[in-house]
């Protein structure tokens, strides 16, 4: 049978339409090709039936229709004993580093247990009676963003108490590339628990697989770990995320710039907390040669922002045109060279900069006047070694 030209064209359109669901730029044509782990209940609800669960989630734990996963589970008669809330709280409105209190979710009556402050790791009594810990949080794919540290502590506590962990996977807005210095053991902290680069190129579900598979939990223990994968996800494509992951990452632009600008948090330079452009601008009272001016003031997401009330000079990157696929060190080097303050060093005395970098080498390279290329070249061997580890846990098209 010979198809008419019109029918051939129709068949071609149909084939292209469904074929594009399988390639990396498909989402722009048909968003239904992609599903986050939370939007695949047929995969995880059977695992939760007749079980008592704890759920680690926050304001990003949403389904595609913007309803909360917690509410969805309750409607499906899943028994939730506790909600565990990470940094920024269950509703995501706490400042970075702010103490988050325990409480009760007013809508469901489920107790909320903070996993921040002095209780970063669930205690045995908090897991008593729980069969499964379900983890569903939108991460940003950067080592010093603490949700991967929370996942690590949850996995560790679960392994110690015979509890299974199920992770509902979500997109990584910095997926498909790796960059930055690899953390050295001496600089391990809650903003960097593992020997990975600043940008590690794994979804949060893949990251958990790596932590488990490489035996990075305390004493090399491993947990029963199940990953609910996304559908139609491609690492170098960028997806709309469910909700802002924290108060000072309000949009895609701030998330895009975050890995490069967060280093300023260890310096005398503001990243715009207390303005309407957090992580989209940077500046200091002592970088007066830079063109943009702003003054941090208390706001909902920054109750006492760094350099509160002081006029800062810097740069506005909110219209930066590129979707970054690499760390940009030029802004950091520019601010360091322009910094003029005889009373205070550029770097904070507590060396928080080194914790963020995962090494003291980056600070020393900046002081020594190294170029961005020279600094990046020094990361090459460590990144190549990490890539060999990472490759074992990649589940999606790279």
- Per-residue pLDDT at 86: 86
- Per-residue pLDDT at 61: 95
Percent of the chain clearing pLDDT 70 (strictly above): 88
Give the full edge-to-edge strand order of the sheet including 132-136: 103-104, 111-114, 79-85, 52-57, 132-136, 164-168, 225-228
- Per-residue pLDDT at 107: 84
Distance CA 171, CA 154 (A): 20
DSSP 102: -
pLDDT of 100 strictly over 90: no
Q: What backbone phi and psi angles, to 5 degrees, belong to 394?
A: -75, 125
- The whole-number average pLDDT for the span 20-26 is 39
Q: Which of 156-165, 317-326, 370-379 has the lowest mean pLDDT?
A: 317-326
Per-residue confidence band for 313, with pLDDT thresholds at 50, 70 and 90: very high
Per-residue pLDDT tens digits for 236-276 = 999 988 899 998 999 999 999 999 999 999 999 999 999 99
The number of beta carbons lying within 10 Å of the beta carbon of residue 359 is 21
State the pTM of this model: 0.89
- The whole-number average pLDDT for the span 208-227 is 98
Distance CA 303, CA 97 (A): 12
What Å distances lie between residue 390 and 132, 155, 170, 178, 385, CA to CA?
Answer: 26, 19, 18, 10, 9
Question: Which domains are present in the chain?
Answer: 33-242 (3.40.50.12170), 252-367 (no CATH)
Higher local confidence (pLDDT), 66 or 321: 66
- The whole-number average pLDDT for the span 295-321 is 95
pLDDT of 118 strictly over 60: yes
What Å distances lie between residue 89 and 36, 98, 110, 155, CA to CA?
Answer: 22, 9, 15, 19
Higher local confidence (pLDDT), 321 or 144: 144
DSSP 4: P
- If you average pLDDT over every residue of the chain, what do you get? 90
- Per-residue pLDDT at 242: 86
- Per-residue pLDDT at 342: 94
- Per-residue pLDDT at 6: 40
Give which of 346, 388, 29 is closest to 197, Cα–Cα: 388
Q: Which of 3-7, 93-97, 210-214, 222-226 has the lowest mean pLDDT?
A: 3-7
Per-residue confidence band for 89, with pLDDT thresholds at 50, 70 and 90: low
Residue 298, C-beta contacts closer than 8 angstroms, at least 6 positions apart: 274, 304, 305, 308
- The whole-number average pLDDT for the span 209-216 is 98
- Per-residue pLDDT at 26: 36
| Six token digits for residue 150 | 């929370």
Distance CA 31, CA 240 (A): 10
Query: Rounded to an integer, what is the distance from CA 124 to the centroid of its chain?
Result: 27
CA triplet 38, 222, 58: central angle to 5 degrees?
30
- The whole-number average pLDDT for the span 358-383 is 98
Q: Is 120 helix (H, G, I), strand (E, B) or coil?
A: coil
pLDDT of 3 strictly over 70: no
- Per-residue pLDDT at 323: 87
H helices, E strands: number in the chain: 12, 10
CA triplet 148, 269, 256: central angle to 5 degrees?
45
- The whole-number average pLDDT for the span 328-353 is 98
- Per-residue pLDDT at 95: 54
Q: What share of the chain is helix, strand, coil (3-state, %, to 5)?
A: 35, 15, 50
């Amino acid at each position: 049978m010979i198809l008419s030209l019109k029918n051939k064209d129709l068949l071609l359109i149909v084939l292209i339409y469904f074929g594009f669901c399988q390639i990396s730029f498909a989402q722009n044509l048909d968003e239904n090709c992609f599903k986050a782990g939370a939007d695949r209940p047929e995969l995880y609800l059977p695992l939760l039936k007749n079980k008592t669960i704890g759920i680690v989630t926050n304001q990003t734990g949403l389904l595609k229709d913007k309803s909360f996963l917690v509410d969805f589970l309750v409607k499906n008669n899943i028994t939730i004993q506790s909600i565990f809330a990470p940094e920024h709280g269950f509703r995501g409105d706490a400042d970075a580093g702010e103490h988050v209190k325990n409480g009760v979710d007013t809508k469901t009556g489920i107790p909320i247990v903070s996993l921040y402050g002095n209780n970063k790791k669930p205690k045995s009594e908090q897991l008593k009676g729980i069969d499964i810990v379900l983890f569903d949080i939108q991460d940003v794919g950067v080592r010093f963003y603490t949700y991967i540290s929370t996942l690590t502590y949850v996995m560790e506590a679960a392994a110690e108490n015979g509890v299974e962990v199920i992770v509902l996977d979500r997109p990584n807005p910095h997926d498909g590339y790796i960059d930055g210095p690899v953390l050295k053991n001496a600089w391990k902290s809650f903003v960097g628990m593992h020997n990975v680069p600043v940008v590690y190129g794994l979804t949060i579900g893949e990251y958990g697989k790596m932590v488990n598979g490489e035996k990075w939990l305390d004493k090399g223990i491993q947990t029963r770990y199940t990953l609910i994968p996304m559908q139609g996800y491609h690492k170098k494509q960028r997806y709309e995320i469910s909700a802002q992951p924290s108060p000072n990452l309000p949009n895609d632009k701030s998330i895009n710039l975050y890995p490069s600008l967060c280093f300023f948090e260890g310096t005398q330079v503001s990243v715009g907390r207390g303005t309407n452009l957090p992580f989209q601008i940077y500046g200091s009272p002592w970088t007066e040669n830079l063109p943009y001016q702003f003054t941090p003031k208390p706001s909902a997401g920054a109750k006492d922002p760094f350099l509160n009330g002081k006029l800062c000079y810097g740069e506005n990157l909110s219209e930066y045109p590129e979707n970054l696929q690499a760390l940009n060190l030029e802004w950091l080097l520019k601010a360091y060279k322009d910094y003029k303050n005889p009373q205070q060093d550029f770097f904070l005395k507590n060396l928080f900069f080194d914790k963020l970098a995962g090494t003291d080498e980056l600070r020393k390279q900046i002081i020594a006047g190294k170029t961005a290329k020279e600094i990046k070249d020094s990361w090459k061997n460590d990144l190549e070694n990490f890539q060999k580890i990472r490759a074992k846990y990649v589940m999606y098209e790279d």
